[in-house]
Structure 1
Amino acid sequence: MRPPLPGAEAPPHPLRFGYGTNGLADLRLEDAICLLADLGYDGVGLTLDHMHLDPLAPDLAARTRRVAHRLDALGLEVTVETGARYVLDPRRKHGPSLLDADPGGRGRRVDLLLRAVRVAGDLGAHAVHCFSGTVPPGTGRDTAWQRLAASLTPVLDAAATAGVPLAVEPEPGHLLATLADFHHLRLLLGDPQPLGLTLDIGHCQCLEPLPPVDCVRAAAPWLRHVQIEDMRRGVHEHLPFGDGEIDFPPVLAALSATGYQGLTVVELPRHSHAGPHQAELSLPFLRRAAAASVPPGEPSATPEGSTP
């Protein structure tokens, strides 16, 4: 069932915070999961990569079951992310993409997303995240959009079968870079039920015409996954909280007001060298910002039992 249309009233919902494993790349997955549980996070943004639940290694289903049991034992929720830089091609960042001129390359990316959908289903994940990729040299934008739509069609079919939404992320520099681009894809595909949106709050600050708080409100009906970090206008650099320009309490208040029920995942992949430290700092910041967004006498936007 679709969420309320823009403008419809939704009750405030406690926000649940996670941390992305792409920001903990120097840790074993078991160690990363235990760290986040110990710090008090509600969940994990699990990027399938060679060091964290390698989607291409043997016995994926068995390894996924072990991770599922561990997450369940620790009380952690999960979203599956597919932004690993070199998991398919050791020489080309995020290659091959869904837009590659080579059909075989596009097929390898589609296969990765299909594997991610199966993993997400086995983990009970909120969503599978993905992005379009950059337009290859010499490729027209109309052709790129056609390739993207054709590539995502079998993935959306698999997502519908698995009951896990596919949450496409607008990524600066990619074909699908903005919220307007997401709606172009949505209409191109005929507004399929499994298609949703990953909203990166920093990306909103970076290049959207609307401020982040208005982006959250505009995105609400399609919101399936949220990534969060600080950022500056016009500069695509994921920053620790407080190092950029975003005013977080209004953004978190707007997100809570939408009734969003997924994870809000800290996205600091370039700070992986200091991942445990950043994870330790990020959750208290978000809890304080969420608490500051709530008028006196109203329910907190942080989960029940958490301490700002």
Structure 2
Amino acid sequence: MSVRFGYGTNGFGNHRLPDALGVIAGLGYDGVALTLDHPHLDPFATDVATQVKAVNRRLDEDGLAVVIETGARYVLDAWHKHEPTLVSASGRERRVDLLCRAIRIGAELGAEAVSFWSGTLPAGTSADEGWRRLLTSIEPVLEEAARLGVVCAFEPEPGMFVDTVDGVLELRHRLGSPDQLRVTVDIGHCVCNESRSLAACLHAAGSLLANVQLDDMLPGVHEHLEFGAGHVDLTEALRALLDLSYGGLAAVELPRHGHAAPAVAERSLNALRAALRSVNQEKETEEARA
């Protein structure tokens, strides 16, 4: 049994995108989590259509599947990280525009999912107002996704308005459980921020799981670490994904490791493959005893 591994382009910020894709494919990854941002595929570039066609050709040549990530830090505001968001006091329409652009790009690239998050609720804003902003902002995004047949995968982020898997499930419920809206789980966030175990988080998402991000973390510290530097149990995570028959990409998310991206990507894949072998061996032993 296997899991399809990918690597995030936000961890290759010092590489040209074609070079990053070449390294990721050359190491043996199955896919790529492509963050739309100015160093790579800028969703606001005047020649974005041409860029998308070139990226599509390169993905095909390298045999890479793709998911679209939208967590670029300063793509909308040069001064304020991640702003505006879906729950900001103003400018939410700019985030909606970015996400709709991401969905159209995702459709052109045949992306398996387009992933995004809520944003941080401004201080002094009530939860009721946060929900109102989020629900009204996300509706046109889901409409565009439904029109183009693109899956949206909502990610709970530590410190943001929706910060747990249960929060994403609550969002889906409030929206009427739209089929187009599913779940992204970052396994590091489960250790950092969730009250239940890593495996329990993945199982809570269940069949709604459409995108997985892989990294290590410490409890209470939202810092993406290489495998082995935190408290994430890779075998626990991979066993849960296999138990769920998860078929999407599981992509390494190390945005602060671009200074040594090829080496980090190689170490990460080696760690993932070793953990997967261990899980499969455990399963074979269990089946032999049954």
Instruction: Provide TM-score, normalisation by structure 1.
Output: 0.90
Shift of 1:225: 0.2
Shift of 1:14: 2.3
* Match for residue 248 of structure 1 among 234, 238, 248: 234
Report the RMSD for the aligned CA atoms in angstroms: 1.3
* Match for residue 282 of structure 1 among 260, 265, 268: 268
2:104 corresponds to 1:118: yes
* Match for residue 208 of structure 2 among 222, 226, 240: 222
Deviations 1:210-267 (A, max 9, x none): 1101211121121000001011111111110010112211210110121111110000
1:297/1:98 CA distance change after superposition, 3 Å: closer
* Match for residue 44 of structure 2 among 33, 43, 56: 56
Counterpart residue type for residue 158 of structure 1: E
Shift of 1:297: 7.6
Shift of 1:172: 0.2
Question: How far apart, CA to CA, are the structure 2 residues paired with 1:161 and 1:106?
Answer: 21
Corresponding residue for residue 159 of structure 1: 145
* Greater helix share, structure number: 2
* Match for residue 184 of structure 1 among 152, 167, 170: 170
Corresponding residue for residue 67 of structure 2: 79
Shift of 1:292: 0.4
Corresponding residue for residue 288 of structure 2: none
Deviations 1:16-44 (A, max 9, x none): 10100111101100110000011011000
2:216 corresponds to 1:237: no
Question: How far apart, CA to CA, are the structure 1 residues paired with 2:152 and 2:193?
Answer: 23
Q: Secondary structure at the match of 1:139?
A: coil
Deviations 1:105-142 (A, max 9, x none): 10110000000000100000110000000001232111
Question: How far apart, CA to CA, are the structure 2 residues paired with 1:222 and 1:195?
Answer: 8
Counterpart residue type for residue 82 of structure 1: T
Percent of aligned positions that are identical: 52
Corresponding residue for residue 3 of structure 1: none
Shift of 1:298: 4.2
Q: Secondary structure at the match of 1:224?
A: strand
Question: How far apart, CA to CA, are the structure 2 residues paired with 1:221 and 1:59?
Answer: 37
Counterpart residue type for residue 160 of structure 2: H
Deviations 1:46-96 (A, max 9, x none): 000001100011121221011011101110000000000000100000011
Q: Secondary structure at the match of 2:257?
A: helix
Corresponding residue for residue 4 of structure 1: none
1:200-219 alignment, distance < 5 Å:
200-219=186-205
Shift of 1:276: 1.7
1:296/1:253 CA distance change after superposition, 3 Å: closer
Corresponding residue for residue 257 of structure 1: 243
Q: Secondary structure at the match of 2:7?
A: strand
Instruction: Provide TM-score, normalisation by structure 2.
Output: 0.96
- Asked if the contact 2:2–2:276 (Cα under 8 Å) also holds between the matched residues in 1, the reply is no
Corresponding residue for residue 31 of structure 2: 43
Counterpart residue type for residue 55 of structure 2: V
Corresponding residue for residue 77 of structure 2: 89
Corresponding residue for residue 161 of structure 2: 175
Structure 1: which 5+ runs fail to align?
A: 1-12, 300-308
Stretches of 4+ aligned residues off by more than 6 angstroms: none
Question: How far apart, CA to CA, are the structure 2 residues paired with 1:297 and 1:154?
Answer: 44
Counterpart residue type for residue 223 of structure 1: L
* Match for residue 133 of structure 2 among 113, 131, 147: 147
Deviations 1:249-300 (A, max 9, x none): 121011012111111000011112222211111001101101101136849x
State how many pairs are aligned.
285
Corresponding residue for residue 69 of structure 1: 57
